[in-house]
Structure 1
Amino acid sequence: MEKLYSIKIALVLACAGTGMFTCSFPAAAEEPVLHPADMNADWKVVLSEAVAYLSGWQQGSNPMNYAIRAAYIWQGGERYNYDAAEDPPLCWELQGPTPEITAFTINNDAVYTSNPTVTLNNEATNDPTEYIASGSSAFNGASWLPYDPAPVFSLSGSAITQRIYFKVRNGQGESSVKSDTIYLEPAMIPVSAGVFIMGGTGGGDDEQHGFPSEVPTHSVSLSSYLLGKYEVTTRQYCDVLNWAKAQGYLYRDNEGSPWAGEDDIYAGGAGYRYPIVDFSSTQCYLQYIRGLFVPTTRTGLPDETEYSMAEHPMVEVSWYGAVAFCNWLSQMLGQAPCYYLGADEWPLTVAPPSPGGYRLPTEAEWERAAAWDTSIPKHWIYGFMGDTNTGSDRCNDRNDGSFIDNPLGLTAYPLTSPVGWFDGVNISPNGNIPTVNSPSPVGAYDMSGNVNEWCQDWYTPYTAAPQTNPLGDSTGTQRSVRSGTWQSNYWGCRTAYRMFAGPSGMAGYQGFRLSRSSG
């Protein structure tokens, strides 16, 4: 029977568009109208629908020229549009082909970028008129824009692994979705070569609250380098951990048992494995879901808002965890790793000023970026170009010891703020306090308060002798720590204030930022 109808369809198709059928029907309506053969209202006439409508014509219930049009649409590819300017049945026109994306890359298939503004290189068939791009597979918040074979797109957030979704459309419909991934380098700030005076200023809060470890002041000459604009975020650490797990680099103990989704995390070569993340701590911002590390959430203000910890500093990370991140990020971005993880204490093998991948800042590099203002010149007492630290608008600390700033009003420790929170734009919901833009002299944020930051050096007492690119002692038991934390009294956030901790130490107030020799 279907074969018989196919023959009949062929016969009526031969007549379609010839004008030999001249039945008169009502004029086309303004609103789109489905062809009556389109039983499931999907703007398609498939073979079964065309056959059914032809059967109705044979039985005298369907108009012949409507039947011919149904057969014509099916034969022409099934899809059709409605043109209100034409009378039925010519108002139902064949739909042209939808566009398809034949090529899609970010920055011509580059591995990584340091610039969050990227180019979406694409090629598509069938004359697309618009495109849409988003970091969300659901295209949340994205809008259709006039088609461009190389539009620019702004990457958002601190994530290192950035996946962009892309599709195009024309009047006939949308293409399938394509995506590509690029690594976004953490924001780094250039610090020029020069000489600065390291140590306590001897005045103000340095005089009142300083310690013997902060003197004698001494001259330090540094080569140029790059410093992380922000503390490394939880999102960034998740991205690198996910990469490292895929390489088989993560263990659950120092014996080399593979990490399986719980317990603290270890890394390193055989015989030299150390703890890197206190994953079992309730203060850890990491969770492991469906085979991936992702940031946790915390409750805060207002009205028990659920905040993602993605843009908060990574905490519960040891010195070894900071070093492992530096090496793995270097590998991800095709840079030379600066540490050897197969020897005792993971030695620095590419030391400043030699160019290489990512590493921790030396204690001198940290203090120069936090305190030294070349335009005056001046050694600021606090890391936001200030000599006093009062109020809750410039850094996240414990003030005089009576209360913690806790800008988001988090209900459980750690009480961190998002990196770069004190930018003069954000308003802290805990007290509705407008922030003051608070970068260091080189433009780095949170160099006073929020979390302590690991430095490269073994902790070493100062001497008065001038130094060039100092690294501290070659051995030791304690690594240098700087910055002060969300639970430090105001004076503990001074740029000259020195702290130290064992390299395996992990806490909800301990994080780090990156450095890199600029060569």
Structure 2
Amino acid sequence: MRFLLLAYGLWLSQLGLAQSRSIKIVGGQVPSGTERRLALVIGNKDYRHVRALKNPLNDAQDMSNALEQIGFEVITLTNTTFGQMIAGLNRFKDKLTTSDVALLYYSGHGVSYNGRNYLMPIDAELRCLEQIEENSVSLNRVLADIAARQVRNSFVFLDACRNLPDLSICNGTQKDVTLQTGLVRPTNNPRGSMIVFATEEGNTADDNVNGRNGLFTEALLKYLTKPNLSIRAILDQTDLEAEAKSGGRQSPARYDKIRGEFMFVIQTPADPLPVTPAPSNAESVTRSEPARRQNQTKPIASGKPTLTPTRLTNYLDLPFADLVYVPGGSFQMGDTRNEGSGNETPDHRVIVSSFMMGKYEVTQRQWEAVMGNNPAYFKDCPDCPVESVSWEEVQEFLRKLNIRTNMRYRLPTEAEWEYAAGGGDVANRSRFGNGQDTLDPSQVNFDGNGQYITPYSVSGKYRNKTVEVGSLEPNQLGLYNMSGSVWEWCQDWYGDYSSAEQTNPTGPATGSYRVLRGGSWFTEPQRCRSSYRGRNTPESRFNYVGLRIVLSIP
């Protein structure tokens, strides 16, 4: 393993959001801006006796810059010997007495021996296993030192799992000696801490020799400074990206003992961001819009129905409650353009029956009408999509909605969602869920910052929040926000694709994660593609995850 990040954070028992001109640094029970943030960043690259690494100095530099952006005082050390590492760690430890938030980042070789993890200085000369304890720095020691300072919360991220040559010479005689692969589960992580490995226990992590940073570090840096994300949300996105870019070979692991939540940055605009008006040929929508009955039609009975939105009388009589008829057909599900992640393959033929799908994502107003509460992070916008809802809470919403309406509304299957996002059974299915092959921030609510731009997207405004449903452009079927806005829960358990043709697939029978689709307001273009697959645990809730409903047609 090749990267150690130790972030000491304050859990947020309350999140008071005062107005801010730009970025607001938030720590739990301490008034914002009064807590101290301290970081130690170490990058070891040029090893004298074992294989040198490519990216640790870049990792250290980039991590130091990122941490300074979010209010940390940073101590940066590079290419450290054993003595320099110990001196730096002692300096860091001595400063922790008054720190509310502390972070230790290490990038370099790491090994595990006899059930413990060790960080290697550049002068470590290991001829037999016993010398590991003498010439490397014990992670257990680091954790014990920090725990002794009684720092309130801590987060540990370790990306130092790399293959090393076998230790085969000891006292001049040949011995068959083998290091344990990767790192092992930590045994003394303090209460209130989170320790994260760049890959699972016993595995090795990708040094990403063709990139500037290690694979895990590259992903972490992308999300660490983003506003309004909890540490768990940051790690969820980091994990997904590392898994996707490694083809599933590298899956980060975390050991979480923190309580509550922690955000590095909360950003609230001083003034509401303007909403892009709908195109002239689209149906206009406003917050005060009455229940629109002009599109009311009878449920589909026979013949070929039109694609106009349908207001079924049993659906909630509220704005944005329209359903769109999606005619059945077949399509190639998955990455048909050779530009996606390994979990999007193999592409395979899927046949889908006709169904009705929500023209818009479920709004805060609609959720509150059914559930009696509004869990959304971006409140004061009743016709913005509801977010911060778990898959399990969505099931309760659907249960209550169906009791109230005497209908059988549900979440879309993953196949139904991708079919509808790309335009249905058409020859030229679109790359994105707004009916286009190029993503434009004027049409879709996503992270349009220039550093994330791809050959099939353009840069522009990053709204950094949700906006009213129906305020941007729909796709060929008249469905809004199928790319960007908020990730949408699907009914399926997450699992690998099969190459076999399928009809109305519903995914695996069991699993650990539920499928998410579509990207969100903070997602970069690559993950807003119609074929991109996200996932999360059924109990998780984040301010970029919401839902859209469907109704089967008998």
TM-score (norm 1): 0.44
- Give the alignment's TM-score, normalised by structure 2: 0.41
Higher strand share: 1
Larger Rg: 1
